[in-house]
Amino acid sequence: MYVHKRIGILAFKKSILYWFESSFWNIVDLVFPPTCPSCQEIGFRWCEDCQRVVRPLAGVQICQVCGAPSDKARCKRCKSLRPSFVQLRSWVVFRHPIRSVLHSLKYQHNIGLGQTLAWAISPSLKQYNWPVQEVVPIPLSEQRQRERGYNQAGLIARPTSQLMEIDYRPNALWRARHTRSQVGLTIKEREKNVQNAFEADSALVAGKSILLMDDVCTTGATLTDAARALSNAGAQAVYAFTIARALSHADA
């Protein structure tokens, strides 16, 4: 009885923290009116018109493991070597207007978009009904963290954890080495680039079901290696989720 009551209190505190931080950003918006990164309309962090035209992945036939477009329940890659995550899913297709939003968050220090995106994706995340207990963002290398000043995945993952009323563990996973950008690399090059790039803290993840979050998924190589590190550290299960999924021209 006491345990259940304590869990309820902790969940309530997470919800209150989300609304407190959301109120803070609303005040900031009043003082410094934001501009929608997709259409440049003033007064909106991301306007409703632009949110309505994102292309969801809900109607795309996908692999039930990695979430890549596939006419089979399990794609060739997952059949040959199943990833360490249970499932990988993405909210929308990586194209305009979500591309502009994520680029603004990632490269233009538009950090208030983290709250906006967390609110937008939470209904989809809850529909999966994954039994997750902790949210872990894909970390940047120390070098890239210093250059950028923040981790864009963490800016989304933190308010998402508050909305889901589960623990946020930004220190549970880290990059064991600096890796080059994945942009422009082939599938094989991406896999080699991030191979054994992550390590995880068993004290934080052992026996836990983890929600691993990133902003964009292209081939799933980064999420696959991060999930491997979490599993090796004793995580009971890893579920992966990204805001967007980049599709090839054939997939789109």
Domain boundaries, the chain: 2-245
Helix axis angle for 98-107 and 152-164, nearest 10°, is: 110
What is the largest distance, in Å, between two alpha-carbon atoms of the chain?
55
Q: What's the angle, vertex CA 47, arms to CA 45 and CA 53, rounded to 5? A: 130
Asked if 216 and 94 count as a contact pair (C-beta separation under 8 A), the reply is: yes
Tell me the β-bridge partners of 92.
56, 244
Single out the residue of 118, 109, 125, 111 nearest to residue 157, CA to CA: 118
pLDDT value, residue 184: 67
pLDDT value, residue 238: 98
Residue in this structure with the two tokens 């994520």, named with its chain if needed: 102
pLDDT value, residue 58: 66
* Stretches in the chain below the pLDDT threshold 50: 1-11, 249-252
pLDDT value, residue 17: 80
Asked if 129 and 211 count as a contact pair (C-beta separation under 8 A), the reply is: no
- Report which secondary-structure segment, H or E, holds 17: helix 2-31
Instruction: Give the pLDDT confidence of 108-129 residue by residue, as tens digits.
Output: 999 999 999 999 999 999 999 9
pLDDT value, residue 250: 39
Please give the full DSSP string across 49-81, using - where no structure is assigned.
HHHHT--BSTTS-B-TTT--B-SSSS-HHHHHS
Tell me the β-bridge partners of 135.
168, 211
Query: What pTM, to 2 d.p., does this model score?
Result: 0.88
